[in-house]
Chains A and B, each alone.
Chain A
Amino acid sequence: MDSAPDAALAAGNERRRAARRARLAIVLRGALAAAIIIGFALWAHLGSGRPVFSPHGKPEAGWEAFRQAYDVDTFGRDGYFVRAIQNGYNLVHHTHQYAWRFTRKRGSDHPNACINCHSAESLAYAFAGGDRFDARLGRRISFEEHVQRCYATHLDGFVPTIYDPAVRDIRIFARMVAHHLQLGEGATEGAP
């Protein structure tokens, strides 16, 4: 006679315990997700050392010498433009590291960087003479599109958008070198 109420009471207790467990699981999962996100943000900003998480470019070998040789400080010691130049330098000299999303080339490949085919000066001249009609392609091609095509073909990779820093900072790098060489629009190598 007493077993039915006991069973109902036990079932009720079990349901409440299950509900508590479910609530705890939800809270724990939320806390864990928040901890992971916060931990990732802290790691990215403070401990990763990865350039993608920092507004400051990683000073690669040769950057300081380049900076002095090309008078980068004309544009200031630091600032958005100078950081873009530095990122451009890194992209041009270490493409497989800094534009890894857009190339299949690895460290052991050759060529694996823009600088393997183009000098800084030749990039500046290409920039100054860019945006012209390309008879082979049958349309006008900008400097940015040339960069995009390089990623897709010579670097055996993928096309970044025209706004991507992997394109933009190479243009800014070329612009800075053009300034250093005091090139004008349409300048050609060897011309007075």
Chain B
Amino acid sequence: MKLLATGWGKAARLALLIGTLLALYILAQARHDERAHIREQAVKLTPGCADKLARYGLAAGASYTSPYALAHSGQASIKRGYSTEDVRAIQRGCNIIDDLQGQLAADPARERWNSTRFVRGTHTSCDHCHQGIGDKQTAAGAPQAGSLSLAASWVMADMYDQFTGILLPYELRQMQCYINSSNGYKPNVADDLIRDVTAYSRFLAAALDLRFGNHYAEQGIDEVTASSTLKRGDDYVRGAARYKEKCAHCHGPQGLGTVVDGKMQYPAVAGPNAFNQQSRNNFSFVSTILPGFLCRNMPLGEEGSLSKQDCRDIAFYVSNMPRPAGDKDGPLAALWQQLMMRVMPPLIQAVDTWQGHDAPRDTGT
């Protein structure tokens, strides 16, 4: 009798194990089918992507000729064409760059491949750094120098990267953006989120007729080094003053961004929604990139109005605001940063109020 009971117990445990594995398999199949179904659906483009992809003449066909290259070089460079599936991948990639959080999407999770799973906070979007949907152009329609162009980055991918110490493929570079600039988690290298952005970047390279292994001025940021200034030293106090004057109106007095009706209007540059300490944007980690970005792109509508020293001072100030620890900083640093992010904003706000400064603005959370 006891033997029989033991036998039934073993059989029940085995059935439970097999049942669990079967359920997981069925779930994985369902998710796989759902993804395949999404890939086959027409893509609703953001207004920016609709405009950009129309200008670059993206359409399915046996060959592709870039209207941009034709207009700029006078020569029709005939490229391999795109299938309808390729076109949809490029469109989805453009949407991801333009609107990572899915604020413009009817169904953000499906239309952006659950991108928010890989991002902490509600502010970050690729387009904040890679402006112009990864392809910023001058008023004359030429690629903007030092604008973090995705196309120029693709043709120069696979080179040695001093920060990671490896030959960095384009897909792994995207993962780093998710980990540090978005303070989140890395998607799988084969995730549609990564692959669609690669497809879009490759299309941009075709549209702009860039050549493999060539360096283009629009690649990366035109960095502002200390040696390009009068070498007065980077000044936190001067940076704070310039920040209040030039940046606080949009990004908030404490850099927490501006949120209106639950939608991010201007992204956080500090606090839990901002890039982390190991992002290359962080002045304390790389002291030339954020100043370069500021000089090139900020303030909106007055681009180019800041001096190089201003950019370095503001970057110094911004990077000293509390922000999440980087993925390699360790748990104690992470704990400390979490504490700072929670304690400092109300404290500073209280001091500002006490001193009779500006009333607190609507800031992001």
- Interface-forming stretch among B7-15, B206-214, B332-340? B206-214
Q: How far is the CB of B119 from chain A (nearest CB, A)?
A: 23
Given contacts A80-B160, A81-B159, A132-B86, contact A179 B214 (CB under 8 A): yes
Given contacts A172-B167, A182-B211, contact A140 B86 (CB under 8 A): yes
Given contacts A128-B212, A162-B190, A179-B211, contact A184 B79 (CB under 8 A): yes
Interface majority SS (helix, strand, loop, mixed), chain B: mixed
Residue of B with least CB distance to A84:
B167
Interface residues of B in 64-90 (CB under 8 A from A): 64, 75-80, 82-83, 85-86, 89
Q: Which chain B residues border A135 with CB–CB below 8 Å?
A: 83
Residue of A with least CB distance to B78:
A191
Q: Which chain A residues border B86 with CB–CB below 8 Å?
A: 132-133, 140
Residue of A with least CB distance to B165:
A80
- A81, A187, A188: the one contacting B160 at CB < 8 Å is A81
Given contacts A175-B212, A185-B210, A186-B64, contact A81 B167 (CB under 8 A): yes
Residue of B with least CB distance to A192:
B78
How many residues on chain A are close to B (CB under 8 Å)? 34
- Alpha-carbon distance between A171 and B172 when the two chains are bound, in angstroms: 15
Contact of A187 with B80 in the complex, beta carbons under 8 Å = yes
- Alpha-carbon distance between A142 and B89 when the two chains are bound, in angstroms: 13
Q: Does B189 contact A (CB under 8 A)?
A: yes
Q: Which chain A residues border B77 with CB–CB below 8 Å?
A: 184, 191-192
Interface residues of A in 135-174 (CB under 8 A from B): 135, 139-140, 142, 162-163, 168, 171-172
Given contacts A80-B167, A81-B160, A84-B167, contact A183 B211 (CB under 8 A): yes
Q: How far is the CB of A85 from chain B (nearest CB, A)?
A: 10
Q: Does B346 contact A (CB under 8 A)?
A: no
- Alpha-carbon distance between A129 and B203 when the two chains are bound, in angstroms: 11
Q: Which chain A residues border B157 with CB–CB below 8 Å?
A: 175
Contact of A185 with B76 in the complex, beta carbons under 8 Å = no
Given A162-B189, A185-B202, A188-B63, 15 further pairs, Cβ under 8 A: A84-B167, A127-B212, A128-B212, A139-B85, A168-B169, A179-B212, A182-B212, A182-B214, A184-B79, A184-B210, A185-B203, A185-B205, A186-B79, A191-B78, A192-B76
Chain B residues within 8 Å of A, Cβ to Cβ: 63-64, 75-80, 82-83, 85-86, 89, 154-155, 157-160, 166-167, 169, 189-190, 195, 198-199, 202-203, 205-206, 209-214
